[in-house]
Structure 1
Amino acid sequence: MFALPLTDEVELRPLEPWRAEEFLAHLDRAREHIRPWVSPTFVATDLPSARAVLQRYADRWASDSGGIWGLWRHGTLVGGVMFVSFDVTLGVCEVGCWLEPDAQGRGLMAPAIHRIVDWAVRERGIQRVEWRTDAANTRSIALARRLGLRHDGTLRQVHPSPRGRIDLEIWSVPADEWLARPTPAPPTVH
């Protein structure tokens, strides 16, 4: 398939079901780090559940309702980006991401999210891009800000978690604001 270079070190590639073993190995490195922030159904623990996660996103891609891509740094899967939901009729999508600990702080995520959001807005006519995150996830909130999203509001105590019920922040950017932004500078990799 294709690989889109994001930096000299990082490529964005489709994360398809046939990559389940590689995805599971990546989750083994990332699981405890991402578990507080992602849906429990995403954190696969064995090969059948890893394949099921990727198949759900393949099915969403086939039905034009979502998608998932991995980030490979020096040939190793270290994280990814996704359309959690994607509705061309309503013109709304939700983006999400995850990253293993050793890949943090390297400027990998913003160019990947930028790439899929730009495609959704310019190619598919999406009018509103949403970002939903646990209010305690300061890294996710900082990324939403860097991407130019604005805080719409907070749904209080909306989901149960091991820490108790969490508040969910909703961030967004309308297409006209996205298109009016200056083109971001090429990313630097640390």
Structure 2
Amino acid sequence: MFAKSLGDDGAELRPLEPWNAEEYLAHIDRSRAYIGRFIALADVATDLPSARAFLQAYADKQAADSGRIYGIHLDGTLVGGVLFRTFDAAAGTCEVGCWLEESAVGRGLVFRAIRVLVDWAVDVRGIHRVEWRADTGNTASLKAAERLGMTREGVLRGSSLHRGTRRDIEVWSVLAPEWRKHRHE
């Protein structure tokens, strides 16, 4: 178990593992309506077995080196998270994602946590392309991608079915050389 400080405000990044299912479910229950506006995460963990199964799926992805999930904790409380939704070291590509409780918005937590993930992916694992996908209506997520120095590549029209409605998804990315240059500016 590790915890990586995200600054001097009590924010930490920690792995989310199956044994964290109760904490994870309590977090989702506190923020289900807010988180569920744009992503299916809130619909996946509806009880303790489904929360544990979701976290186990990411434990399995980590064991297969195809994904990882981390919780953002503020003063010891789980308030959000970041993940490698996909991770393909052989191809040099991955997709990052995030979510937060409404009470944690506006503190730069996602920005700081995603920087940790992208730094590790690029510097340690040799990832060349990091993607970010977000619902076109999720302006906070799109602003985060831009702030991270990513480039908007386009819109996948009607590509996501969320709660019975077809949604457009924006694709953003940053390449390793761009990341290295941007983070030092």
- Paired residue for 1:43? 44
* 1:42, distance to aligned residue in structure 2 (A): 5.9
Write the distance in 1 (CA, Å) between the matches of 2:100 and 2:3. 18
Moved over 6 A (4+): none
Separation in 1 of the partners of 2:20 and 2:162?
Answer: 29
Question: Equivalences for 1:77-116 in 2 at 5 Å?
Answer: 77-116=78-117
| Contact 1:92–1:127 (8 Å) recurs in 2 | yes
Q: Secondary structure at the match of 2:113?
A: helix
Tell me if 1:52 matches 2:39: no
- Name the amino acid aligned to 1:127: H
Per the TM alignment, residue 60 of structure 1 is displaced from its structure 2 partner at its CA by 0.4
**2:171 aligned partner:** 170
Aligned residue runs from structure 1 range 1-190, under 5 A: 1-8=1-8, 9-39=10-40, 43-162=44-163, 164-183=165-184
Q: Return the TM-score normalized by structure 2.
A: 0.95
C-alpha distance in structure 2 between counterparts of 1:17 and 1:161, whole Å: 25
Q: CA deviation at 1:163?
A: 7.0
The separation in 2 between residues aligned to 1:161 and 1:33, in whole angstroms, is 14
* CA RMSD, 1 decimal: 1.4
- Contact kept in structure 2, 1:129 and 1:174, CA below 8 Å: yes
Return the alpha-carbon distance in structure 2 between the equivalents of residues 159 and 144 of structure 1.
19
Per-residue CA deviation, residues 105-124 of structure 1 (Å, 9 max, x unaligned), is 11111010000011000000
Name stretches of at least 5 consecutive residues in structure 2 with no aligned partner: none
TM-score (norm 1): 0.93
SS at match of 1:111: helix
Aligned-partner Cα distance in 1 for 2:179–2:29: 35
- Contact preservation (8 Å) 2:33, 2:42: no
Identify the structure with the greater helix proportion: 2
Residues 128 and 174 in structure 1, CA contact (< 8 A), matched pair in contact too = yes
- Distance, in Å, in 1 between the alignment partners of 2:180 and 2:92 is 15
Which structure is richer in relative contact order (CA contacts within 8 A, separation 6 or more)? 1
Aligned pairs, number? 184
Deviation digits for residues 138-162 of structure 1 (CA, Å, limit 9, x no counterpart): 0000000000001011011112234
- Find the residue that maps to 1:52 and give its secondary structure: helix
SS in 1 for 2:162: coil
For residue 183 of structure 1, report the CA deviation from its aligned partner.
3.4
- Give the 3-state SS of the residue equivalent to 1:25 in structure 2: helix
* Residues in 2 aligned to 1:182 and 1:134: alpha-carbon distance in whole angstroms: 25
Q: Does the 8 A contact of 1:156 with 1:168 survive in 2?
A: yes
What amino acid is aligned across from residue 7 of structure 1 in structure 2?
A: G
